Amino acid sequence: MSRLRKKKTPITKLTTSPSSSAKPQSTRAVIRQFHVHLKKQAQGQTRNGRPETLGADLGSQVEQVGGLQEYQEMSVRGQGNDRGGGCEKVLIGWLLARDQKAHCTKSGLRLLEVGALLPDNYRSCASWIDVTPIDLHSRHPAILEQDFLQMDDASNMEKWDILSLSLVLNFVPDAHERGRMLRKCAKFLKRGAFLFLTLPLPCVRNSRYVSLETLVQLMQSLGLELVEERWREGGKLAYWLFCKMDSEGIHPDGQQFRTKRVLLSGKSRNNFAILM
């Protein structure tokens, strides 16, 4: 009599209850490989040649590291409490320190969370933060499936009190599209409202084209002033809180951010850039 064989679950299958059993090193490896393949795919689609073939090959490579679902799964695991929690804790701390809870209206502060992987990141602040979580590929019914870059400018003009781009800007594969995303953020924010930005630290400490200083200057050209920042040498992430200027004023010229300018040279540098 033959024994019944238990059907194995594919290792890339998305589980309904994310576990944090994956090692941090393997989590980072999947995320890093996904970004590399996505960048190559974007480059292939903008060059002459045979982008269809290149795209298919790279699509296969992306699937080999688990595809989009595995990328999202690993990102969620990276937000687990056993790994320091999500970036929203930094934002909440800064808002409380600036007494935003006491000064918000009865309806609460309107927060647009771009690239949300979990629907309840701000559950503890439900009494004073009214959050709208969106993601390009929603993995939860409470997260609106929406491309931020396709959101209507007119209906969102100066609508939001807070905008969160937590590990989102670095996911955009094109430097000009990153600039467009930041321009939309500036348009969507009310005067005196906040933009919370999180990036991998190497984006501003090991890039050929972006530094901590030039990032702040670029944001100033959009009318966004730096009010808080957090990072440490050798760390993984950098956090910033920018405030939209209350008055029109005269913003610094953003001409220097229309073309790439090498700030640091060397083979070990990355090519992260933001162009206006």
**Is residue 33 classed as helix, strand or coil in its secondary structure?**
helix
Contacts of range 1-4, beta carbons closer than 8 Å, 24 or more positions apart: none
Q: Which residue has the tokens 């019914």?
A: 141
**Residues paired with residue 163 on neighbouring β-strands, in sequence order:** 112, 195
* Residue 173 exposed, middle or buried by CB count within 10 Å (0-12, 13-18, 19+): middle
Does the annotation flag 174 for ligand binding?
Answer: no
With beta carbons less than 8 A apart as the criterion, state whether 117 and 145 touch: no
Is there a contact between 87 and 166 (Cβ–Cβ < 8 Å)? yes
Pairing of strands 160-166, 109-114: parallel
**135 labelled binding-site residue:** yes
Helix (H, G, I), strand (E, B) or coil at 93: helix
Please give the torsion angle defined by the CA atoms of residues 159, 94, 92 and 233, in that order, rounded to the nearest 10 degrees. 120
Q: How far is CA 12 from CA 63, 68, 117, 218, in A?
A: 9, 10, 17, 39
Dist. CA 86–CA 49, nearest whole Å: 41
CA dist 154 and 176 (Å) reads 21
Q: Which two tokens stand for residue 153?
A: 């400018």
Query: From the annotation, which residues make up the binding site for S-adenosyl-L-methionine?
Result: 115, 135
Query: From the annotation, which residues make up the binding site?
Result: 115, 135
